[in-house]
Amino acid sequence: MCGIIGYVGDRDASFILVQGLKRLEYRGYDSAGVATFQDGSIAIRRCLGKLENLERLLREAPISGTVGIGHTRWATHGRPSEQNAHPHRAGKIVVIHNGIIENYLELRAALADRGRTFSSETDTEVISHLIDERVQSGQDLVHATRSVVHELEGSFSIVVMHEDSPDRLVAAKSATPIVIGLGENENFVASDIPAILDHTRRILFLEDGEMAEVTRDRVTLSTFAGDPVAREPRTVAWDPVTAQKGGYRHFLLKEIHEQPQAIIDTMRGRILQEQSDVSLDELAKADWLAQARRMVFVACGTAWHACLVGKYFLEHIARIPAEVDYASEFRSRDPVLDEGTVLVVISQSGETADTLAAVETARERGAKVLAICNVVDSSIARKADAVIYTHAGPEISVASTKAFTTQLTVLYLLGIYVARRRGVLSEPGAHALIQDLVNLPSHVEQCLKRERAIEKVAKKYGNARDFLYLGRGINFPIALEGALKLKEISYVHAEGYAAGEMKHGPIALINEEVPVVVLLPKDAVYQKSLSNMKEVESRGGRIIVVTDAPSPELEDIAWEILPVPTSNPCLLPVLLTIPLQLLAYYIADYRGTDVDQPRNLAKSVTVE
């Protein structure tokens, strides 16, 4: 998710812009840039890497002016580079953008047909050309921008400068946040409140489908249709650090709540409902994927749990033999791989040393490598034969949450994509699964609405010293993930186990001191898992059951019931994960651990 800031006033714009971008550094980015009106034109300074590089550039080649825009880029389309950094210029127009324009390729082709040439790989540059075409034809900046936003499909927040209108900025919002800060003879635009909190606490929030024309003494709101919008500013009481967390106490809780949007962003442009199919442009040249005779999933930690779900799903839906291995183990054994094997590596950071080494091992043995990453152009992404990006946005908290559920989302898309091309998934079957996938974000939202009840359960069991998590089938990996979340952020010992395996040893652990979290969706193995629950209950275990089928029978057996909405059994791993994330968070919060930076942990384990 990129960082945006704009300023219109009487002070030194480039200083205010860079300081504001620094307040957004926590979001993660790979390049940065600013633009100001200077001596009758627009001056731009951009660079790859961190803001200190931009500050150095501005010392070497300063820009003046009291009106300008600034941007930190988290690459989605086009690798991190100075050419792809924002702001982007076309003719008299300069634009910064946050989001994903799904139809940018056809817009770009049409612009090229009209003689336009491009200097970047980004979807953003297309916007600057479209607006420039209109101002060149005589439209003013507001009308030109309003006309263009109707052509854009996808998510966007943009701020636009026009060389012939040096006293104003125009902003437009669809799906990604934009706020307007109101000052004294100065006004601000930002993607996030922290960027402008040093200057004002009076904030106007733009809604989807709205625009703002901003001068130093006036802010005019309107809809994309041109209707005026009247809105009272709100006064934000947050301190800067709280503002970075969007008002949440920890980044982890913020990122748990970002999951519906992250899943929407990850599916954006990839679902073809009418054709009951999935579109993965990244795999256009990867015909080796549908012809794979075997898939080997490899990762570490939470990403390894995603691999386990991937194995179940790809075998079930695409009928491809699949196996899973820890990256650290895979690279230590002498794996049998050949050209019919596809190694699927999953990594949020794209920098995990063991996973990177596994990619090297597979490449040496002639296997193709498909990566699922959250960081564009990361080391693992660059070394793979193909990469599918999750669009979860920067994940700040060390414990992985939205990256995990978007990894599962990509695996669902991949499974449908491959199954349709292998001719093993019917159109009606694909249609039903896709419909359930489309409904997934709202189902996740429903799970999040039960937060207070889960917080109560967390406080009730927060003093326990050991937890057992049980799951079966495609939800066995979720038992592992729930246990990992708890132990890594609360330091409480927890084990995830296949429910059917409990009687082969772990049942010896059961007593009234050990809460047992049982994942019990109403699926094909419900009765077997219910039997496991009764085995636990008969030994005094305190059962916390997570289910899409609460019932009086369960109320008799379980101490707590955490309900989730029902969905396609293959998609329930996502829904069952949400209560486990919240349970781990509130137990950790209750125990007072450092939720976002747990002891001994790193966000990306780049050492072996």
* Residue 537 CB-half CA count within 13 A: 18
Residues 6 or more apart whose CB falls under 8 angstroms from that of 279 comprise: 269, 270, 271, 272
Is 348 or 567 the residue whose CB approaches ligand AGP more closely?
Answer: 348
Is 159 or 375 the residue whose CB approaches ligand AGP more closely?
Answer: 375
Residue whose tokens read 């924002």: 86
Alpha carbons 559 and 459: distance in angstroms, whole number: 14
Contacting positions for ligand AGP (CB under 6 A): 300-303, 347-349, 352, 355, 398-400, 488, 604-605
Asked about 603 being catalytic, the answer comes back as yes
The least CB distance from residue 354 to ligand AGP, in Å, is 8
The least CB distance from residue 375 to ligand AGP, in Å, is 8
The residue number whose beta carbon is nearest to ligand AGP equals: 301
The least CB distance from residue 384 to ligand AGP, in Å, is 13
Residues 6 or more apart whose CB falls under 8 angstroms from that of 396 comprise: 26, 27, 28, 251, 255, 596, 603
Is 124 or 352 the residue whose CB approaches ligand AGP more closely?
Answer: 352
The least CB distance from residue 404 to ligand AGP, in Å, is 8
Q: How many CB atoms lie within 10 A of CB 361?
A: 19
Is 303 or 444 the residue whose CB approaches ligand AGP more closely?
Answer: 303
Alpha carbons 415 and 407: distance in angstroms, whole number: 12
CB contact burial 207-216 (16+ within 10 A = b; e otherwise): eeebbbbbbb
The least CB distance from residue 493 to ligand AGP, in Å, is 16
Please tell me which residue in 50, 460, 522, 603 is annotated as part of the active site.
603
Nearest to 86 by CA among 27, 181, 142, 5: 5
Is 480 or 545 the residue whose CB approaches ligand AGP more closely?
Answer: 480
Nearest to 313 by CA among 406, 411, 390: 411
The least CB distance from residue 405 to ligand AGP, in Å, is 12
Asked about 2 being catalytic, the answer comes back as yes
Residues 6 or more apart whose CB falls under 8 angstroms from that of 425 comprise: 317, 318, 416, 419, 433
Task: Show contacts of 553-562: CB within 8 Å, 24+ apart.
Answer: 554/520, 557/533, 558/518, 558/533, 559/515, 560/457, 560/460, 562/450, 562/453, 562/454, 562/457
Please tell me which residue in 2, 47, 300, 373 is annotated as part of the active site.
2
Alpha carbons 195 and 69: distance in angstroms, whole number: 12
Residues 6 or more apart whose CB falls under 8 angstroms from that of 340 comprise: 291, 292, 293, 294
Is 403 or 571 the residue whose CB approaches ligand AGP more closely?
Answer: 403
Alpha carbons 1 and 68: distance in angstroms, whole number: 20
The least CB distance from residue 86 to ligand AGP, in Å, is 26
Beta bridge partner(s), residue 235: 202
Is 222 or 604 the residue whose CB approaches ligand AGP more closely?
Answer: 604
Residues annotated catalytic, as ranges:
2, 603
